[in-house]
């Protein structure tokens, strides 16, 4: 886990600088701690970076101890699964969905900000027919 500091983002003030993108190889992930104490799971799925809450809502395992499975993350604790696009959990026991974070890559670093609630809500409200 890494503790980061905000050095004044040139992108948008709400973004916070974290670690070098090269520190997360495709198919792997790391947890970073933001200034406000939030722990964010940074995941590299085939070169695309995703950001999601890092602590399992079941028994609070750090999700970076688990594994990446396509665009999903599996908790090392008891196998709960999260979709990195929606933050939705799949598990037989009570757990929580995870918040999502926007990721920007600049000068080789990953910059993180919590995704606006409206953006998350519009994802959930997307009722377009799905291909089967």
Q: Give the binding site for ligand FES (CB under 6 A).
A: 56, 58-59, 61, 75, 77-80
Task: Please state the closest distance from residue 65 (CB atom) to ligand FES, in A.
Answer: 9
Residue 62 bridge partners (DSSP):
55
* Residue 22 or 59 having the CB closest to ligand FES: 59
Based on CB atoms, which residue is closest to ligand FES, 21 or 63?
Answer: 63
- In whole angstroms, the minimum distance from the beta carbon of 35 to ligand FES comes to 26
SS3 assignment for 46-101: CCEEEEEECECCCCCCEHHHCEEECCEEECCCCCCEEECCCCCEECCCCCCCCCEE
Q: Which residue has the tokens 């757990």?
A: 95
Shortest Å distance, C-beta 31 to ligand FES: 14
- Min dist. Cβ of residue 70 to ligand FES (A): 18
Q: How far is the CB of 33 from ligand FES (least distance, A)?
A: 19
In 30-68, which positions are buried (b, 16+ CB within 10 angstroms) versus exposed (e)? bbbebeeebebbbbbbeeebbbbbbbbbbeebbbbebeb
Cβ proximity to ligand FES: between 58 and 67 the closer is: 58
Q: How far apart are CA 38 and CA 115, in angstroms?
A: 13
Residue with the shortest CB distance to ligand FES: 77
Q: Which is nearer to ligand FES, 77 or 99 (CB)?
A: 77
Of 2 and 59, which CB lies nearer to ligand FES in the complex structure?
59
Beta bridge partners of 83: 72
């Amino acid at each position: 886990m890494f503790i980061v500091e905000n050095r004044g983002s040139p992108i948008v003030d709400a973004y916070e600088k974290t670690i070098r993108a090269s520190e997360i190889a495709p198919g792997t992930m790391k947890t970073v701690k933001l200034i406000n104490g939030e722990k964010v799971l940074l995941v590299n799925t085939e070169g695309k970076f995703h950001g999601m809450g890092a602590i399992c809502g079941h028994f609070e395992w750090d999700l970076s101890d688990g594994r990446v499975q396509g665009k999903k993350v599996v908790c090392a604790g008891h196998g709960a699964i999260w979709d990195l696009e929606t933050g939705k959990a799949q598990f037989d026991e009570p757990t929580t969905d995870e918040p999502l974070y926007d990721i920007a890559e600049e000068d080789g670093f990953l910059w993180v900000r919590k995704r606006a609630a409206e953006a998350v809500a519009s994802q959930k409200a997307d009722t377009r027919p799905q291909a089967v």
